[in-house]
Structure formats: structure tokens, C-alpha cells
């Protein structure tokens, strides 16, 4: 092996990714809204935490109707977040700390305030008309949408525009019209935008709803009925419709390969794409493309959203891991996602219990796959509870007519989040009235979450048993242990009466580590072959899990053990 062989392993496969929601991270201009200079002031914190790559939700020019997921200028920065000079400094400051930067690219749609759309809607003859998807309505009169296609958030995805008496298509909310990728000029422009940011040194992109880039060309065809109301990760059905013509259209699989070629124009370092795709594992795999040597030829990664609502249960994770291993063997690699800006925070699905969160983190940072940590996850930031009425989140506003009992029913276990404000509250830096996010005299854009007096960085840093220090230890261990960041994964079958135990072995070269996770409220004892060198990590500091040939795990304890070298 060459001296620096660990450095040569593909960086984006072994990295750890932290998502920053810029609006909520750190306000430096004292207006209650997070911004880029605020983020820069926290880069030392992220470096010290042990994060290797940072993904930013969009901070491009935008009317902020969907807080940046409605872009009106792909090569400029929203003034509330800073300037292009701030952005350049952000890139530099991240790189100077040996970290990487990932931007959120919303290719599917723009804001309806984007100059392209303003032009496009101005007349049927405008040269930008076919940059978007316009269509006549149904006869007679054309006042009915062209077909029954529903948007992702329910309701028709077609919207009538009086001025030109046609309908435009929007996969998400009406103010987010879809770009028309069947027009080569659109594709060229967006690929050039990608190149523009790669030239600036961006290391990768998170691709917003990339599975909706194309729709069927025959608008005469309706989507079929399906007996399913809520969306799920296993199929493309929702709102009693199977979205065959609008989600995971076969042309998307070709598109991601074209985009991959653009990424491949840039090397040293290699850049990567991670796609937001809610779909079955079979479909996710199609987005990765086919294996060519030690890489695939589509997206480098997709989010595996299957874990979001996985029960904290050994059997559930055993199944998930074995399905991931079956569908994503090298050179494919899964991802581990438990929280993001659209979902109930994981800890709130675990009754806000820190010991369960530590167990969950141990799995996330030691199983094979690229982990994504959502800001605040490392300190145990919990979801807030806000009514739909008065929400800032446009999805919540859309559903604010729903009767409260129905909202309670839908959201009772956290697997459906109607008001995304609840998981976007300010980062909690200290115990001051606005948690150090903004000064006390300024109103933050969303109220600070509950228990910020104790759940905050400053309080947790000196406490060796805090969740924050658990994350730090895990992140360091993972970074320094090739078996954990790049090794193979083998599930170890539990003894018949130890079903609450999940054990797996990670191996790289001669290094072998075992991860033991107790998913139960009870202490578990198990015999071991007794060939462990060291306890590399434990969620319970000071515990001695191994005695001669017995391993004893406390409730919800997780440990990482180094096995004796095999050669
Ligand atoms: C994605 C984003 C979400 C956004 C939507 C529309 O799902 O994660 O926040 O509202 O796309 O861009």
C-alpha cells in the first residue's frame, strides 16, 4: 500500500455531510435571518465537530416564497444572505479548513419571478415561451387543465394564466413553474450554470427533486388512479394517483448521465452529485446508472429516505442494511439520512430521548454509506410545534384549511410533517433568549425551539456525556478508521434470543471493527469469541462492555470494537 493510501480513497464516498439551512444558522446582520457571514463565523465550530463536507440549502437570489427553493437568479446571491464576495469567501474559508462545499441546485423549476418566466408568460410568441411547459386547456373553452396530473403537494400541477390563455406546469407549488428540459437551450443554460459554480470551486451539488425533471410528452394521457393517499418512499403514488407521467419519467435516467458528464469535466478534486429522489431502492439504483469500473455513470449518490421513518429497532435496521447491501454493492453506496429541512427531526421521533439519539448516531456514522447530518442534530435540537395558520412555510399555508383533528391525525407520529417551520427553528448556540442565533432585541424569523437553555452548543461542549461530544467522538473515529469510512459491511446474525441486538462488521484491508448496538430497554449479555483489541467508542463513557468472553450492553448502548488483526 502507498504511504498515503487512505487519502487516495474516493473522498465523497468516505465523507460526512452536514446540512446548513442558511436562514436558521447564524444571523450576523441583526435582522433575525441567518446569513453567509454568520455561517463563516461558525466554520471553526464545524471543523472542530469533525464535519468534512457542508451542504447549504439555497442562498441564491429568490423571492423566498419557498425560502430559496424558488430561485430567480442562479448566479447571484440573495441580499438577505450576503453578496457574491461573501459567497467567494465562504468557499475559500471552507477549503482552507480542508472541508468541502456542496450547493443545492434546483434544476426542476424556477421562481415565477425569474426573468425567464416573466418573459415566458408575457406572450405565446416570446422567445422564452418554450423555456417552460405551456399547454392548451381541455376543450371547449380551454378552461379545464390539460389532464389530471397532480403536483407533488396535491392539487392539479397545471395553472391557468389569463394573459395568454394557456396552462403552465408546476410539479411543486404554483409559484415554482417547471423548466422545459426538452428545449436544448434550457439544458445548455442549466449545465452552464453548473459549470459556473464548479469553476468557482464548488465540490458537489444536492439536486432538488431531480426525479421530476421530465414529464410525459403526450399530455392527452392521464395518470391512473391509485388507492393511496399519502406519499411513500416505496412508490410514486399519492393523492389517489399513480404519477406515472410526472415522477421518475424514463428520460430522467438519461438526463442524470448527461449531467454526470458535465461533472466529469472537472477533476482534482472529483466532484459529486446527490439527488433528492423519493423512490424505491430499485428506482434509486437506476438514478446511479450502471457500474463502469469503480464508479457508476449516473448520480454519485441519492438520498435513501427509507431510514427517515425506520423504527428504532434492530430487526428494522437489519432489514434495511441487508436491502441496501443487496441493491448498492460497490461501486454503489447508500446514504444515511434521518432528518432534513422537510422532515420531523429524528430525535423527536425518538421521544426526544438523547440515549436513543446516541444509538441512532452510532448506526448512522458506522454503517456503510455516506451520512447526512442536519444542523442541530448533533446537539439534539428538537422539533417545535406550530399551528398551520400563520406559518412561513408555503406547504403549511397550502394546507392551513385542514381541520385541526385531521392535522393531528396525519402528523401524530411525525412521519408526515405539514408545517416545515417546525424543523427549521434557529440553531441553538447558547442559553441566551434567542439562543445566540440573533441578539435579544431582534425577533428571529422563527421562534427559538423548546429547551434551548439546556440544548445548546455552549452547554454541551464542556459536558463529556453530551450528545454533541458523542457526535464529535464518532466523527473523529470514522474519519480515522478506514474500515468505517470505506470498509465492507457484514451483518452478523444474532443469537436466537438476542433479536434486539444489531451487530455488524466493517473491514478494510487488515483492519476489522465490529459495531454492537442494543436497541432495547434492557441490559443484554452475549458471549463473544473474545478476540477484541480495544473498545474504540461507546455511547456510555466509562462503561466496560467486555469481560473475558462476555459482552454486556446497557439499554440503548452502542459500542465500536476493534478486532485483532487478521494478518
Ligand atoms: C424539495 C426541497 C423542499 C422544497 C421542494 C421544492 O423537496 O427539499 O424544501 O420545498 O423541493 O423545491
Predicted confidence (pLDDT) at residue 425 exceeds the cutoff of 90: yes
Predicted confidence (pLDDT) at residue 494 exceeds the cutoff of 90: no
Q: Is residue 104 lining ligand 1, measured as CB closer than 6 Å?
A: no
Q: Do domains 3-105+191-207+273-467 and 488-563 have the same CATH topology?
A: no
Predicted confidence (pLDDT) at residue 36 exceeds the cutoff of 90: yes
Predicted confidence (pLDDT) at residue 479 exceeds the cutoff of 90: yes
Predicted confidence (pLDDT) at residue 24 exceeds the cutoff of 90: yes
pLDDT of residue 527: 85
pLDDT of residue 546: 86
Predicted confidence (pLDDT) at residue 356 exceeds the cutoff of 90: yes
Vertex 442 angle, CA 438 and 448, to 5°: 55
CA–CA distance, 171 with 235 (Å, rounded to integer): 17
Return the C-alpha cell found at 516: 454492537
Q: What is the mean pLDDT of residues 510-537?
A: 90
Helix (H, G, I), strand (E, B) or coil at 273: strand
Return the C-alpha cell found at 404: 385541526
CA–CA distance, 567 with 509 (Å, rounded to integer): 9
Task: Indicate which residue of 44, 136, 188, 265 is catalytic.
Answer: 265
Length of the chain: 567
Mean pLDDT of the chain: 95
Q: What is the mean pLDDT of residues 436-465?
A: 97
Predicted confidence (pLDDT) at residue 497 exceeds the cutoff of 80: no
Strands (E), 264-344: 272-275, 291-292, 295-296, 301-302, 335-337
Cell 477533476: give the residue.
267
DSSP labels, 3-30: TTHHHHS-HHHH--EEEE-GGGT--SSS
Q: What percent of the chain has pLDDT over 90?
A: 91
Q: How far is the CA of 46 from the centre of ligand 1 (A)?
A: 25
**Superfamily grouping for domain 3-105+191-207+273-467:** Glycosidases (3.20.20.80)
Quick one: which H or E segment has residue 71? Answer: none
Predicted confidence (pLDDT) at residue 529 exceeds the cutoff of 80: no
pLDDT class for 533, splitting at 50, 70, 90? confident
Helix (H, G, I), strand (E, B) or coil at 442: coil
Q: What is the mean pLDDT of residues 518-529?
A: 90
Give catalytic status of residue 208 as yes or no: yes
Give catalytic status of residue 265 as yes or no: yes
Q: Is residue 209 lining ligand 1, measured as CB closer than 6 Å?
A: yes
Phi-psi region of 436 (alpha: psi -120 to 50; beta: other; left: phi over 0): left
pLDDT class for 460, splitting at 50, 70, 90? very high
pLDDT digits (tens, 9 = 90+) for 239-281: 999 999 999 999 999 999 999 999 999 998 999 999 999 999 9
> Residue 418: how many CA atoms within 13 Å on its side-chain side?
26
> Which of 321-325, 337-341, 538-542 shows the lowest mean pLDDT across its residues?
538-542
Q: What is the mean pLDDT of residues 78-87?
A: 98
Best mutation site among 60, 66, 210, 278 for ligand 1, i.e. most ligand atoms within 8 A of its Cβ?
66
Predicted confidence (pLDDT) at residue 66 exceeds the cutoff of 90: yes
Q: Is residue 21 lining ligand 1, measured as CB closer than 6 Å?
A: no
pLDDT of residue 566: 57
* For ligand 1, atom 7: residue with the closest CA: 209
> Residue 151: how many CA atoms within 13 Å on its side-chain side?
23
pLDDT of residue 195: 98
pLDDT of residue 355: 97
Structural domain spans, the chain: 3-105+191-207+273-467, 488-563
Distances (CA, A) of 284 to 248, 298, 301: 10, 11, 9
Return the C-alpha cell found at 151: 403536483
pLDDT of residue 5: 66
pLDDT of residue 567: 54
**Checking DSSP bridges between strand 291-292 and strand 295-296, what pairing results, if any?**
antiparallel
Predicted confidence (pLDDT) at residue 457 exceeds the cutoff of 80: yes
Predicted confidence (pLDDT) at residue 470 exceeds the cutoff of 60: yes
**Terminal-to-terminal C-alpha distance of the chain:** 15
pLDDT digits (tens, 9 = 90+) for 279-314: 999 999 999 999 998 899 999 999 999 999 999 999
pLDDT class for 234, splitting at 50, 70, 90? confident
Architecture of domain 488-563: Sandwich (2.60)
pLDDT of residue 530: 66
Q: What is the mean pLDDT of residues 172-192?
A: 98
> Which of 371-385, 424-438, 488-502, 503-517 shows the lowest mean pLDDT across its residues?
488-502
pLDDT class for 219, splitting at 50, 70, 90? very high
Q: What is the mean pLDDT of residues 28-47?
A: 98
CA–CA distance, 417 with 410 (Å, rounded to integer): 8
Amino acid at each position: 500500500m502507498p504511504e498515503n493510501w487512505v487519502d487516495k480513497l474516493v473522498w465523497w464516498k468516505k465523507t460526512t455531510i452536514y446540512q446548513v439551512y442558511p436562514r436558521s444558522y447564524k444571523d450576523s446582520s441583526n435582522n433575525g435571518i441567518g446569513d453567509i457571514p454568520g455561517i463563516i463565523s461558525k466554520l471553526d465550530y464545524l471543523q472542530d465537530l469533525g464535519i468534512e463536507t457542508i451542504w447549504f440549502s439555497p442562498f441564491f437570489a429568490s423571492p423566498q416564497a419557498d425560502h430559496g427553493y424558488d430561485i430567480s437568479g442562479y448566479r447571484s446571491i440573495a441580499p438577505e444572505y450576503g453578496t457574491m464576495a461573501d459567497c467567494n469567501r465562504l468557499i475559500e474559508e471552507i477549503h482552507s479548513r480542508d472541508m468541502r462545499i456542496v450547493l443545492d441546485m434546483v434544476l426542476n423549476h424556477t421562481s415565477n419571478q425569474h426573468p425567464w418566466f416573466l418573459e415566458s408568460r408575457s406572450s405565446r410568441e416570446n422567445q422564452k415561451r418554450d423555456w417552460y411547459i405551456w399547454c392548451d386547456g381541455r376543450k371547449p373553452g380551454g378552461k379545464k387543465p390539460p389532464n389530471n396530473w397532480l403536483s407533488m403537494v396535491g392539487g392539479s400541477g397545471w395553472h391557468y394564466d389569463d394573459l395568454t390563455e394557456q396552462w403552465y406546469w408546476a410539479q411543486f407549488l404554483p409559484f415554482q413553474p417547471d423548466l422545459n428540459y426538452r428545449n436544448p437551450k434550457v439544458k445548455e443554460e442549466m449545465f452552464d450554470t453548473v459549470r459556473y459554480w464548479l469553476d468557482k470551486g464548488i465540490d458537489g451539488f444536492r439536486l432538488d427533486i431531480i426525479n421530476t425533471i421530465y414529464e410525459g410528452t403526450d399530455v392527452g394521457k392521464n395518470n391512473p388512479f391509485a388507492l393511496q393517499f399519502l406519499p411513500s418512499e416505496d412508490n410514486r403514488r399519492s393523492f389517489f394517483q399513480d404519477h406515472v407521467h410526472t415522477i421518475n419519467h424514463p428520460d430522467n435516467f438519461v438526463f442524470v448521465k448527461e449531467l454526470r458528464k458535465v461533472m466529469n469535466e472537472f477533476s482534482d478534486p472529483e466532484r459529486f452529485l446527490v439527488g433528492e429522489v423519493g423512490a424505491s431502492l430499485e428506482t434509486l439504483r437506476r438514478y446511479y446508472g450502471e457500474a463502469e469500473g469503480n464508479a457508476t455513470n449516473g448520480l454519485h449518490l441519492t438520498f435513501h429516505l427509507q431510514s427517515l421513518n425506520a423504527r428504532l429497532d434492530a430487526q428494522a435496521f437489519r432489514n434495511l442494511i441487508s436491502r441496501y447491501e443487496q441493491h448498492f454493492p460497490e461501486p454503489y453506496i447508500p446514504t444515511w439520512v434521518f432528518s432534513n429541512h422537510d422532515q420531523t427531526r429524528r430525535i423527536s421521533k425518538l421521544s426526544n430521548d438523547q440515549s436513543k439519539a446516541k444509538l441512532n448516531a452510532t448506526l448512522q456514522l458506522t454503517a456503510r454509506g455516506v451520512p447526512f447530518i442536519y444542523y442541530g442534530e448533533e446537539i439534539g435540537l428538537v422539533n417545535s410545534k406550530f399551528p398551520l395558520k400563520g406559518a412561513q412555510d408555503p406547504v403549511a399555508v397550502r394546507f392551513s384549511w385542514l381541520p385541526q383533528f385531521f392535522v393531528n391525525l396525519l402528523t401524530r407520529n411525525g412521519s408526515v410533517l405539514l408545517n416545515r417551520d417546525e424543523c427549521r427553528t434557529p440553531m441553538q448556540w447558547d442559553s441566551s433568549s434567542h439562543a445566540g442565533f440573533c441578539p435579544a432585541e431582534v425577533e428571529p424569523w422563527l421562534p427559538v425551539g423548546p429547551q434551548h437553555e439546556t440544548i445548546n452548543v455552549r452547554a454541551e461542549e464542556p459536558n463529556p456525556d453530551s450528545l454533541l461530544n458523542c457526535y464529535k467522538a464518532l466523527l473523529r473515529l470514522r474519519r480515522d478508521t478506514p474500515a468505517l469510512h470505506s470498509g465492507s459491511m457484514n451483518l452478523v446474525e444474532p443469537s436466537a434470543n438476542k433479536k434486539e441486538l444489531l451487530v455488524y462488521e466493517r473491514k478494510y484491508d487488515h483492519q476489522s471493527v465490529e459495531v454492537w448496538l442494543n436497541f432495547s430497554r434492557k441490559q443484554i449479555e452475549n458471549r463473544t469469541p473474545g478476540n477484541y483489541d480495544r473498545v474504540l467508542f461507546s455511547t456510555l463513557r466509562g462503561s466496560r462492555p467486555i469481560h473475558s468472553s462476555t459482552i454486556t450492553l446497557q439499554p440503548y448502548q452502542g459500542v465500536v470494537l476493534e478486532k485483532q488483526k487478521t494478518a
